[in-house]
């Protein structure tokens, strides 16, 4: 599998995968997409890279530790739902900044939550596929 | 009285420690407890004799209106003195009996626990409290019978006693609960003060029977008697204490206690008279057939308990009084005889009546006690046993019930008792000294103190019955009868018919003693003891029970997943069918706005069906997976087509990922397990039924009206309030975001689980 | 200000689990974090319990949406009792587990998953939304899958595969039930469902929907004839890993049944009521017979769980305040006692290396304190007064007899009879493992241990057994407040309007 | 169309159970997956389907006005799919381990833990 063509292709494709997955993540609030779908795509991209370069290499290159990624994702999601408590509002109340960024859209705690989902999904899928393909 | 119980429990708790500190005298230290209680009882004698019952109430479980009530009246005090008085000697006796046993501490713990529980029973002022102590006596009896736990016989007997008494206890509990519901109270003083509470109550007979079963099992009445002879596996002090003088009398106590409540329930009397009568005769006969001293005593105890039950059942003034008098007499001589037997067993290593003889010289004090007790048992003037027999005969021949039969039966029982008394008081001590496994010596002081005192008391109590025994026994029988009728005890009532009968009893008794070997031989020939009885039933029913249990478990717990899943599905389907039939409302409002079918949809669905069928029938694993993929993608397409792009995308991606996973795992697995045509046929049935049910329910629900307030609210506020236009996504991250938090947690855990399954090398523990 | 204690009970486990994940590989630090947060969790649960008792329901309206459109978390008295129980158990099971498990690899899996499990349990007991309950169920189940497979021995794997499959089916039925209810009423909120479902025109269809929940929760609770997964699974994994699962999994099923069949679909007078009564009787009988047939310490205990579940189901099905209070008290009693028995079994297994009664013996002579601890719990389980089991039995029996209904009376009578068989099988353990002399079958020497050496080797195990025994004894001799709480919770749950209006009129 | 879809759903349920009742472990997993399709379809259909628009508010509007698909059931299904994936993945790995430990993929041979001794 490990041929030059694949390696080059992946090197080019991976950023695209990640970019597209981010795009799906951010637009999810208004159009089909969202953290879960985005996360899956990003993970598939990284998985493809791992198939070509080997999992060990991929882990080393990106300093990925899947369980760590899961923990990070969960904590992002957790923090996002805790934020409103500091304003005396119930858990998970959506709080929004009053500005809209291009491509990303409005910033707010639900978005942050979705980012948490995105990260967890990446972690989970990588964890499973890395372990399985490693034997 | 609460204090007594608490001290008793503390004593039980520290008994082992005392034994560790002073293992030679632990029992003597602990005997202070019953002695103290006895003195306490004597101190209250006067006020109780003046018909003042003492009641103590402590709040306990207010939420179910249960308070810790204690009551001390004539009946209670009689039993308190009995339990503590005999208990005092038992503790001293046990101290010597288990002289070098390392488990003596444990034994004393159990014994203290038992004594406390027994005192609790007799002092309870509330039936539920009584029940609590009641069960505790069963429990401590279990521990005591199984004291020699290394021997299988002990363990078996302990279990038997426990099962019989506890099952009786369960009936009793049901009875008590029903009584509480019907009478509105379980406080004894209220129950006893209103004897008309259960008058004309339709449930009264049921309650009476339930409570009687509890009492009769405890008091080893036929047909529940068989546990008692087996309980003789316990050490001698236990037999002397629990299984003759106190615990087995708890049933008699309860019957006496509740007599005023049930006296108007007709079934009460007739059951007690019949069961008591049968037990009386049967027990005495069985005693005559046996030669193991402990067994013989056990059967005579059963018989004696039968007499008491019978007397309570007759329910006349004199019979109730007789019951109390006989109870005391029996406790005195039977406790002594058990201890005497213990001494003989302890010193000679055997206890067969046929073989033992001539021990009198070697064991003079034991002989003295045994002879005295036997004389009381035989009912010889001027022993207390004689007093008891007089009043017993008086009651038996005075009964209007089944006139004659009761009297004759009682007389016969008296004759057999006398015959056995000769065995215990005369035969084993006189004549040639027999060969025994151990060389007999007199037992140590601790082991002769109790028998001598109790036996002597049987003599003094007879001579001075009017002064010593009469006041308290009078008071206790008055409590039972709820009337104050004079009880007159005494040795001499003139040359009456009863006196003649007493003399005849002695005469016939001696005759039976002389021909006892012939009677035994005759019964062996008839193999009377091998007749099927309740004991055989017990021994048959336990393996039968186990057989049923094993069969049932193998049936339900087959280990085959298929059976489990089929059970689940069939349960569901039959539940639904049953419910639909019971409910009976099959109303259908009609599918509103049905969607017209288009041709390409049909093609599409046919494609999916082909995928399904292919998955089911293919023998190639890869084909199966690909076909399943077709179905999965088809589902995604349906989602997409009917307005669910997010679901469709997710389904699509997940499908792909799952197939990848599958392929990664599959190449390491062997080929498909072969298709089995017969199996397929068998499993087709539940599958089809399941599918059909689900389709029907789906259509049924669709036929109803639905309006979803959620849908409306979300469509209105998704953008305006939650700043998102993709409503599904807004629901996922905002409206119902907690679901999503749970969802990603599940993913995380699954990932850790997979990691654990494949990566972690566990050391074999 | 939001309800701090409610949120703490929900989020402390999640926070702990995440922290432990970050500390991956550093077992000592993980243990310390776990120990501290389990104590905090207990504290929060006690405060929450107190709050629910004194000042009514605690409600957290997650997302601040109008009721019914978001998800509410509700802690009423019923939830509070279960949460409290869960908190007590979580502390002792944590001590026990972290002392029981000696392998570092196992611990590093056990610790995070343990707190994820706790997260799921907390959520399940406070869910006010039927789909949300499903999600918490799944969190709990996946955690239990992992805990059951740690160590990956043959029997564990074998049992887990069946366990997973049956739970997948159960979850599917749960989902379908949710679908049906949503399709009929258009809502998922429990209070709203409780309001709308009895008003539905076609009650038969509502009952059909309810039957899916009966089966799904029934599988979780292990009622007849859906119990088989339990005796097949519980004895396979080392007790240190699965104590919390074993203690609480079936009770979540019971909790859900109570919640569903009071608030959402009131059982009284429906065709499901007699069915449930009959199932309860069968559950008791079949379970106890199963126990009688077994010859393995843990298997006997497992089958007993099934039998005891029958009592709880009976209480629910009788559907009077007293009977439901009895069922609740029975849950409390059973969780404490059964867990303690499993703990003791685990200790015995650890010391003797076997759970087979044939190969055990002489514990009474060798380790009398273990015998005493076992006896207290065992006799409590069989309902010997005045231990906890007796109070539960008494409340249930009284509740049953009070109704005067023939079927209920029969089932109640069966329940009393079953306790005799329970006694029979507990004495089997007692006779074989404790009284009988050590058998010396394979020439094994009897392990030479005493109190001190055990305390040194497994302090956490011993302490947790002692603590549980102490709690059992306290409840046994001072049952008043516990019974009062159960009664109050039962009254509240039967008067469904209190719950429904309390939530619908929140804010 | 609802009728056809309902029958299809029933068929998927039947097929799922049929696969799970088989001996093979792989079939068991396939059955689990089939069962989850069936369940998801069930929820999707039971919430009433429309041949209409997805529940996405058009660019220039603030609310959804026309007939649109029920977003609630979709959100539920999405959650269920993801959870189902987690469990399926675990189950797939589990059969791999079970095979490694027992040497069989025949479910009927896995009855040791239930049997009486």
Nearest chain A alpha carbon to B730: A29
Q: Which residues contact B287 (CB under 8 A, 6 or more apart)?
A: B295, B296, B297, B299, B300, B303, B416, B420
* Chain segment B638-655, per-residue pLDDT in tens: 999 898 899 999 999 999
D2 Cβ partners below 8 Å, 6+ apart?
B591, B594, B595, B699, B702, D45, D49
CB of B758 within 8 Å of any CB in chain A? yes
Q: Indicate which of C157, C208, C289, C295 best probes the interface with D, i.e. most D CBs within 10 Å of its own CB.
A: C157
Instruction: Inspect the interface and report whether the beta carbons of C172 and D39 lie closer than 8 Å.
Output: yes
pLDDT at C507 over 80: no
Residue C103, C-beta contacts closer than 8 angstroms, at least 6 positions apart? B762, B763, B765
Task: For chain B, give the mean pLDDT.
Answer: 89
| Rounded Cα–Cα distance for residues D37 and B658 (Å) | 13
Interface contact flag, B646 A33, Cβ < 8 Å: yes
* Contact residues on chain B for D20, CB-CB shorter than 8 A: 561, 565
pLDDT of residue C444 exceeding 60: no
- Tell me how far apart the alpha carbons of residues B180 and B122 are, in angstroms, rounded to a whole number: 19
Position B631 scores a pLDDT of 94
Count of the separate structural domains present in chain A:
1
The class of domain D2-52+68-105 in CATH terms is: mainly alpha
Q: What are phi and psi of B292, to 5 degrees?
A: -70, 125
Mutate to test the interface with A, among C22, C71, C111 (most CBs of A within 10 A): C22
Residue B521 burial (CB count, 10 A): 10
Mean pLDDT of the region D40-65: 86
Distance between CA atoms of residues C213 and C257, nearest Å: 8
H-helix segments, A54-135: 55-62, 66-82, 109-134
What domain range includes position A40? 4-134
- Rounded to whole angstroms, how far apart are CA atoms B716 and B52? 81
CB pairs under 8 A between B and C: 281
Touching subunits for chain C (3+ Cβ pairs under 8 A) = A, B, D
C380-428: per-residue pLDDT in tens?
999 998 999 999 999 999 999 999 999 999 999 999 999 999 999 899 9
Tokens (6 digits) for B87: 């208990």
* Residues D37/D38/D41/D43 CA torsion (nearest 10 deg): -120
Calpha distance C30→C20 (Å, rounded): 5
A52: its two tokens: 């070509």
- The share of chain B scoring above pLDDT 90, in percent, equals 55
| Cross-chain Cβ contact C145/D47 below 8 Å | no
Residues C196 and B576 sit within 8 Å (Cβ to Cβ): no
Inter-chain residue contact D56 with A32, CB threshold 8 Å: yes
Q: Does domain B561-708 have CATH number 1.25.40?
A: no
CB atoms within 10 A of CB D34: 28
Are C158 and D32 within 8 A, CB to CB? no
For residue range C143-194, what is the model confidence (pLDDT) as tens digits? 999 999 998 888 999 999 999 999 999 999 999 999 999 999 999 999 999 9
Nearest CB to C154; choose among D28, D91, D101: D101
Chain C residue at shortest CA distance from A110: C63
CB within 8 Å: B643 and D96: no
Task: Report, in this order, helix, strand and coil percent for chain A, each rounded to 5.
Answer: 75, 5, 20
Task: Please give, one letter per residue, the 3-state secondary structure of A101-122.
Answer: ECCCEEEEHHHHHHHHHHHHHH
**Mean pLDDT of all residues in B243-251:** 92
Nearby residues of C77 by Cβ (< 8 Å), 6 or more positions away:
C52, C53, C485, C488, C489, C492, C493
Residue of C nearest to D46 (CA): C183
Contact (CB, 8 A) for C302 and C229: no
Interchain contact B496–C (C-beta under 8 A): no
pLDDT score at B765: 41
pLDDT of residue B592: 59
Across B613-617, average pLDDT: 90
Residues 6+ positions from C171 with CB-CB distance below 8 Å? C134, C137, C138, C141, C216
Q: What is the 3-state secondary structure (H, E, C) of B314-381?
A: HCCHHHHHHHHHHHHHHHHHHHHHHHHHHHHHHHHCCCECCCCCCCCCCCHHHHHHHHHHHHHHHCCC
pLDDT digits (tens, 9 = 90+) for C408-420: 999 999 999 999 9
- Residue written as tokens 């195990």? C461
Chain B residues with beta carbon closer than 8 angstroms to that of D31:
none
- The closest alpha carbon to B351, from B361, B371, B364, B337, belongs to B337
Q: Chain D neighbours among A 92-131 (CB < 8 Å)?
A: 124, 128
Of B649, B755, B758, the CB nearest to A37: B649
Name every residue whose Cβ is closer than 8 Å to that of residue C37 and which is 6 or more positions away in sequence.
Answer: C12, C13, C15, C16, C115
Angle (nearest 5°) at CA B515 between B513 and B519: 105
B173 at interface of C, judged by CB pairs closer than 8 A: yes
- Report CB contact under 8 Å: B687, D10: no
Sequence-distant (6+) residues with CB within 8 A of B196 are B264
* Amino acid A2: pLDDT: 54
* C424 interface with A at CB cutoff 8 Å: no
Joined tokens for residue B55:
């009641």
Measured between beta carbons, which residues in chain D are less than 8 angstroms from residue A32?
Answer: 54, 56
Average pLDDT over residues B542-561: 91
Interface residue B2 vs chain D (CB under 8 A) = no
- Mean of the pLDDT values across residues B111-136? 95
In angstroms, what separates the C-alpha of C310 from chain D's closest C-alpha?
21
Q: Does A38 touch chain B (CB under 8 A)?
A: no
DSSP B388-410: HHHHHHHHHHT-STTTTHHHHHH
Read off the pLDDT of each residue in B86-112 and give the average, rounded to a whole number.
92
pLDDT value of position B522: 83
Cβ atoms of residues B652 and B640 within 8 Å: no
CB-based contact A29 B723, cutoff 8 Å = yes
Q: Quickly count: other Cβ atoms within 10 Å of residue D18's Cβ.
A: 23
pLDDT digits (tens, 9 = 90+) for B673-705: 566 788 888 999 999 999 999 999 999 999 888
Give the pLDDT score at B516: 86
Q: SS3 sequence, chain D?
A: CHHHHHHHHHHHHHHHHHHHCCCEHHHHHHHHHHHHHHHHHHHHHHCCCCCCECCECCCCCCCCCCCECCHHHHHHHHHHHHHHHHHHHHHHHHHHHHHHHHCCCEHHHCCCCCCCC
* Chain D residues inside the 8 Å CB shell of A31: 56
| Closest residue of chain B to C401, computed from CA coordinates | B178
Yes or no: say if B246 and B186 are a contact pair by the CB < 8 Å rule.
Answer: no
Using left for φ > 0, alpha for ψ between -120 and 50, and beta otherwise, residue C152 falls in: left
Q: Exposure string (b/e) for B160-198, b if CB count within 10 Å is 16 or more?
A: bbbbbbbbbbbbbbbbbbbbbebbeebbbbebbeeeebb
Chain D's closest residue to C292, CA to CA, is: D116
- Distance of alpha carbon B552 from alpha carbon B562, whole angstroms: 18
Under 8 Å between Cβ of C277 and C311: no
Residues of A in contact with D54 (CB under 8 A): 32
CA atoms within 13 A on the CB side of B261: 29
Chains touching chain B, criterion 3+ CB pairs below 8 Å: A, C, D
What pLDDT is recorded for position C300? Answer: 94
């Amino acid at each position: 599998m490990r041929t030059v063509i694949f390696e080059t292709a992946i090197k080019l494709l991976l950023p695209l995968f990640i970019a597209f997955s981010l795009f799906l993540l951010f637009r999810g609030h208004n159009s089909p997409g969202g953290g879960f779908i985005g996360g899956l795509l990003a993970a598939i991209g990284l998985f493809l890279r791992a198939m070509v370069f080997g999992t060990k290499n991929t882990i080393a290159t990106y300093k990925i530790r899947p369980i760590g990624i899961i923990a990070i994702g969960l904590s992002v999601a957790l923090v996002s739902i805790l934020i409103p408590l500091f304003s005396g509002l119930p858990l998970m109340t959506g709080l929004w900044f009053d500005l809209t960024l291009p491509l990303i859209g409005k910033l707010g705690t639900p978005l942050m939550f979705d980012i948490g989902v995105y990260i967890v999904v990446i972690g989970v899928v990588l964890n499973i596929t890395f372990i399985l393909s490693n034997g | 009285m609460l204090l007594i119980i608490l001290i008793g429990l503390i004593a039980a708790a520290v008994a082992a420690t005392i034994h560790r500190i002073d293992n030679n005298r632990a029992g003597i230290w602990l005997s202070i407890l019953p002695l103290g209680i006895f003195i306490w009882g004597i101190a209250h004698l006067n006020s109780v004799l003046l018909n003042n019952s003492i009641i103590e109430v402590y709040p306990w479980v207010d939420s179910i209106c249960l308070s810790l009530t204690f009551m001390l009246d004539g009946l209670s005090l009689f039993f308190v003195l009995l339990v503590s008085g005999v208990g005092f000697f038992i503790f001293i006796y046990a101290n010597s009996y288990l002289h070098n046993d390392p488990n003596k501490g444990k034994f004393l713990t159990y014994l203290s626990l038992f004594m406390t529980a027994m005192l609790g029973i007799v002092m309870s002022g509330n039936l539920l409290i009584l029940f609590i102590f009641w069960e505790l006596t069963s429990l401590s009896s279990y521990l005591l019978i199984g004291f020699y736990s290394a021997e299988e016989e002990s363990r078996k007997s302990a279990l038997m006693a426990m099962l019989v008494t506890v099952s009786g206890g369960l009936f009793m509990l049901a009875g008590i609960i029903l009584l509480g519901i019907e009478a509105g109270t379980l406080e004894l003083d209220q129950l006893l003060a209103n004897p008309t509470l259960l008058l004309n109550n339709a449930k009264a007979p049921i309650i009476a029977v339930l409570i009687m079963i509890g009492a009769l099992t405890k008091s080893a009445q036929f047909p529940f008697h068989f546990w008692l002879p087996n309980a003789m596996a316990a050490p001698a002090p236990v037999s002397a204490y629990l299984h003759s003088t106190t615990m087995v009398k708890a049933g008699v106590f309860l019957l006496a206690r509740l007599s005023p409540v049930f006296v108007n329930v007709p079934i009460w009397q007739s059951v007690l008279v019949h069961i008591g009568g049968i037990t009386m005769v049967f027990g005495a006969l069985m005693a005559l057939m046996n030669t193991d001293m402990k067994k013989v005593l056990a059967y005579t105890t059963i018989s004696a308990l039968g007499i008491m039950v019978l007397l309570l059942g007759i329910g006349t003034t004199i019979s109730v009084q007789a019951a109390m008098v006989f109870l005391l007499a029996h406790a005195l001589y039977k406790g002594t005889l058990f201890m005497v037997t213990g001494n003989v067993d302890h010193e000679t290593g055997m206890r067969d009546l046929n073989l033992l003889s001539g021990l009198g010289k070697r064991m003079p004090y034991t002989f003295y006690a045994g002879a005295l007790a036997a004389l009381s048992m035989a009912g010889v003037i001027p022993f207390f046993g004689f007093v008891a027999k007089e009043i017993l005969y008086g009651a038996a021949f005075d009964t209007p019930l089944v006139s004659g039969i009761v009297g004759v039966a009682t007389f016969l029982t008296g004759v057999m008792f006398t015959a056995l008394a000769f065995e215990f008081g005369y035969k084993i001590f006189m004549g040639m000294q027999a060969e025994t496994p151990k060389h007999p010596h007199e037992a140590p002081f601790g082991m002769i103190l109790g028998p001598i005192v109790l036996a002597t008391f049987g003599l003094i109590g007879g001579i001075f019955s009017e002064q010593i025994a009469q006041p308290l026994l009078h008071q206790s029988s008055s409590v039972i009868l709820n009337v104050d009728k004079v009880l007159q005890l005494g040795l001499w009532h003139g040359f009456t018919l009863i006196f003649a009968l007493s003399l005849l009893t002695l005469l016939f008794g001696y005759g039976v003693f002389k021909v006892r070997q012939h009677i035994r031989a005759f019964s062996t020939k008839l193999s009377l003891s091998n007749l099927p009885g309740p004991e055989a039933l017990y021994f048959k029913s336990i393996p039968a029970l186990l057989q049923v249990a094993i069969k049932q478990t193998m049936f339900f717990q087959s280990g085959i997943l298929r059976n489990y899943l089929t059970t689940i599905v069939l349960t569901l389907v039959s539940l639904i069918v049953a419910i639909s039939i019971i409910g009976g409302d099959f109303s259908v409002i009609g599918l509103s706005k049905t969607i017209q079918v288009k041709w390409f949809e049909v093609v599409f669905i046919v494609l999916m069906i082909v995928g399904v069928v292919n998955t089911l029938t293919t023998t190639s694993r890869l084909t199966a997976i690909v076909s399943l993929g077709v179905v999965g993608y088809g589902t995604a397409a349906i989602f997409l087509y009917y307005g669910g792009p997010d679901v469709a995308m997710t389904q699509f991606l997940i499908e792909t990922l799952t197939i990848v996973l599958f392929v990664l795992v599959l190449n390491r697995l062997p080929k498909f397990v072969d298709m089995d045509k017969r199996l397929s046929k068998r499993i087709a049935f539940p599958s089809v039924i399941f599918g059909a049910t689900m389709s029907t329910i789906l259509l049924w629900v669709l036929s109803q009206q639905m309006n979803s307030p959620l849908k409306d609210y979300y469509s209105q506020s998704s953008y305006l309030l939650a700043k998102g236009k993709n409503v599904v996504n807004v629901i996922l991250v905002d409206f119902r975001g907690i679901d999503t938090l749970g969802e990603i947690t599940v993913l995380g855990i699954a990932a850790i689980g997979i990691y654990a399954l494949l990566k972690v090398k566990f050391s074999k523990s | 200000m939001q309800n701090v204690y409610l949120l703490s009970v929900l989020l402390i486990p999640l926070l702990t689990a995440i922290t432990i994940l970050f500390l991956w590989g550093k077992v000592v630090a993980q243990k310390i974090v776990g120990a501290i947060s389990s104590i905090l969790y207990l504290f929060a649960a006690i405060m929450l319990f107190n709050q629910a008792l004194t000042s009514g329901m605690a409600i957290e309206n997650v997302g601040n949406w109008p009721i019914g459109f978001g998800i509410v978390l509700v802690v009423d008295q019923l939830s509070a009792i279960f949460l409290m129980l869960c908190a007590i158990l979580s502390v002792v099971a944590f001590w026990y587990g972290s002392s029981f498990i000696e392998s570092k690899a196992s611990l590093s899996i056990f610790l995070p998953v343990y707190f994820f499990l706790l997260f799921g349990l907390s959520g399940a007991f406070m869910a006010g939304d039927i789909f949300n309950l499903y999600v918490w169920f799944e969190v709990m189940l996946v955690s239990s899958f992992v805990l059951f497979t740690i160590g990956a021995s043959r029997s564990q794997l074998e049992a887990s595969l069946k366990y997973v499959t049956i739970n997948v089916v159960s979850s599917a039925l749960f989902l379908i039930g949710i679908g049906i209810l949503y399709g009929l009423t258009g809502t998922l909120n429990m209070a709203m469902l409780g309001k709308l479902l009895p008003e539905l025109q076609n009650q038969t269809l509502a009952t059909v929907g309810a039957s899916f929940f009966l089966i799904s929760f029934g599988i979780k609770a292990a009622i007849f004839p859906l119990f088989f997964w339990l005796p097949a699974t519980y004895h396979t994994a080392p007790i240190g890993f699965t104590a919390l699962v074993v203690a609480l999994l079936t009770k979540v099923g019971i909790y859900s049944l109570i919640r569903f069949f009071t608030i959402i679909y009131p059982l009284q007078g429906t065709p499901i009521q007699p069915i449930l009564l009959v199932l309860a009787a069968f559950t008791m009988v079949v379970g106890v017979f199963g126990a009688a047939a077994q010859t393995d310490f843990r298997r006997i205990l497992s089958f007993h769980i099934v039998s005891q579940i029958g009592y709880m189901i009976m209480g629910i099905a009788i559907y009077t305040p007293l009977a439901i209070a009895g069922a609740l008290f029975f849950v409390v009693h059973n969780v404490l006692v059964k867990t303690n028995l499993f703990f003791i079994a685990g200790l015995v297994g650890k010391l003797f290396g076997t759970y087979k009664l044939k190969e055990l013996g002489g514990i009474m002579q060798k380790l009398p304190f273990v015998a005493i601890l076992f006896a207290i719990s065992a006799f409590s389980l069989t309902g010997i007064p005045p231990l906890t089991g007796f109070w539960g039995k008494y409340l249930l029996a009284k509740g049953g007899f009070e109704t005067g209904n023939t079927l209920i009376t029969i089932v109640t009578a069966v329940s009393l009879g079953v306790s005799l068989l329970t006694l029979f099988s507990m004495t089997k353990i007692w006779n074989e493992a404790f009284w009988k002399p050590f058998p010396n079958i394979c020439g094994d020497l009897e392990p030479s241990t005493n109190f001190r050496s055990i305390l040194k080797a497994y302090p956490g195990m011993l302490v947790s057994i002692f603590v549980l025994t102490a709690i059992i004894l306290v409840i046994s001799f001072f049952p008043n407040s516990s019974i009062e709480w159960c009664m109050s919770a039962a009254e509240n749950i039967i008067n469904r309007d209190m719950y429904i209006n309390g939530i619908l009129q929140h804010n | 169309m609802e009728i056809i879809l309902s029958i299809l759903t029933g068929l998927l349920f039947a097929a799922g159970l049929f696969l799970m009742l088989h001996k093979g472990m792989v079939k068991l997993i396939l059955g689990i997956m089939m069962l989850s399709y069936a369940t998801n379809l069930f929820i999707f259909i039971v919430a009433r389907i429309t041949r209409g628009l997805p529940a996405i508010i058009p660019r220039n509007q603030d609310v959804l006005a026309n007939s649109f698909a029920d977003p609630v059931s979709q959100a539920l299904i999405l959650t269920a799919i993801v959870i189902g994936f987690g469990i399926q993945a675990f189950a797939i790995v589990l059969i791999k381990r079970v095979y490694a430990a027992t040497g069989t993929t025949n479910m009927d041979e896995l009855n040791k833990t239930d049997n009486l001794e």
